[in-house]
Amino acid sequence: MTALRLEDTAPDFEQHSSQGTLRLYDYLGDSWGVLFSHPADFTPVCTTELGYTAIVSGEFAKRNVKVLALSVDDVDAHNGWINDINDTQNTTVNYPIIADADRKVATLYDMIHPNADNTATVRSVFVIDPQKKIRLILTYPASTGRNFDEILRVIDSLQLTDEYSVATPVNWKHSEDVIIVPSLQDEAELKVKFPKGYTVVRPYLRITPQPDL
Ligand code: BEZ
């Protein structure tokens, strides 16, 4: 199996989950998606990640993003663990966790890296756009919790690129200036697309205020 790469179509699948049998494409519908894996249920780092994801679920919803976790344990284990997450992280997990006990999805998405662990998944993240294209792939080691604010930041950047033909510079944060993509050269089009104007620092580096504000 070839590993998935950016702009590949996210493979569809059907699998058990904490909210019943789930088919990826039906679950996502026309939304963006974040599919993220964890080494196992009842592990400390994962507990904090899943709790935080529930706490910021409004931020994902605002961006039209559906969240989907995965762990290679069964539905009963997931349900017991969700109670723990809710209790310890003061939240309510309101998104499904795939119960990938047979590792069907983990194998499809290359989430098991045998030199790290033969059976457990690493911390993978896939951001999937409404056309079902993979737009971001992250791989973290089991011992390092991911930064879910960074995942939201990348989704903001991707959505701005799709809507306004802009890219985002180093360490960009919401509301800061952005970069006009170099492929956009037509003066008339630039005037229409960027009514607030833009600064030409170099012909290839043109800065404009974040267009959707
Ligand atoms: C975990 O919480 O998943 C974890 C913590 C330390 C090492 C590996 C995994």
Three-class DSSP labels, 94-122: CCCEEECCCCHHHHHCCCCCCCCCCCCCC
77 and 41 in contact (C-beta within 8 Å)? yes
pLDDT digits (tens, 9 = 90+) for 51-109: 999 999 999 999 999 999 999 999 999 999 999 999 999 999 999 999 999 999 999 99
Spell out the domains of the chain, with CATH numbers in brackets. Answer: 14-144 (3.40.30.10), 164-208 (no CATH)
Percent of all residues in the chain with a pLDDT value above 70, rounded to a whole number: 100
Kindly give the distance from the C-alpha atom of residue 141 to the centroid of ligand 1, in angstroms, as a whole number: 9
Mean pLDDT of the region 126-150: 97
Determine whether the shortest distance from the Cβ of 39 to ligand 1 is under 6 A: yes
pTM of the model: 0.96
109 and 1 in contact (C-beta within 8 Å)? no
Assess whether pLDDT exceeds 70 at residue 158.
yes
Mean pLDDT of the region 150-167: 98
Determine whether the shortest distance from the Cβ of 46 to ligand 1 is under 6 A: yes
Determine whether the shortest distance from the Cβ of 50 to ligand 1 is under 6 A: no
* pLDDT for the residue 168: 98
- The rounded distance, in Å, linking the Cα atoms of 146 and 127 is 14
Active-site residue, from 22, 46, 93, 111: 46
The torsion angles phi and psi of 197, rounded to 5 degrees, stand at 85, 175
CA–chain centroid gap for 151, Å, is 6
List CB contacts of 36: < 8 A, sequence separation 6 or more: 49, 53, 67, 68, 69, 70, 123, 124, 125, 126, 146
What type of residue sits at position 140?
A: Y
* pLDDT for the residue 1: 62
pLDDT digits (tens, 9 = 90+) for 176-189: 999 999 999 999 99
The pair of structure tokens assigned to 57 is: 């679920």
Is 46 catalytic? The answer is yes
- Exposed (0-12), middle (13-18) or buried (19+): which is 204, by Cβ within 10 Å? exposed
- Per-residue pLDDT band at 119 (split at 50, 70, 90): confident
- The rounded distance, in Å, linking the Cα atoms of 137 and 100 is 20
